[in-house]
Structure 1
Amino acid sequence: MALPKLRISPTRKNKRRSHLALSKTNLLECPSCGATKRPHTACTDCGYVRPGLTLKTSGTV
């Protein structure tokens, strides 16, 4: 079985893992009802997408 030649220091390990952090999700306020929603998606409360386009929602999330 393969074994590591040298011990990896905590600094080196953390530098390698520095790109693995999750980014915070961006939430916007729906201009129609004021609920929070993700950008470029329909509002889960009222179904608002853009002016003139509203999707029907079932009401259960």
Structure 2
Amino acid sequence: MTVNGSGSAPEETPRQIAERELLAARDDVQQMAENMRARLKQDEQDQQDQQDQQNEQTAGE
């Protein structure tokens, strides 16, 4: 079925719209998860660096 019989692309069905939105949401969630993993890794590295610095200060006393 074409829009107004003009030969243009068919309209999306409600299911197609929902699938497209679901895929977009999935992509967003995956990106957020990647960002959270990167942030956690950085936080762990920062914590380790801070601990190492404290150990160096303690050893120097």
Which TM-score applies when normalising by structure 1? 0.37
Whichever structure has more strand as a proportion of its residues is 1
Whichever structure has more helix as a proportion of its residues is 2
Q: Which has more radius of gyration? A: 2
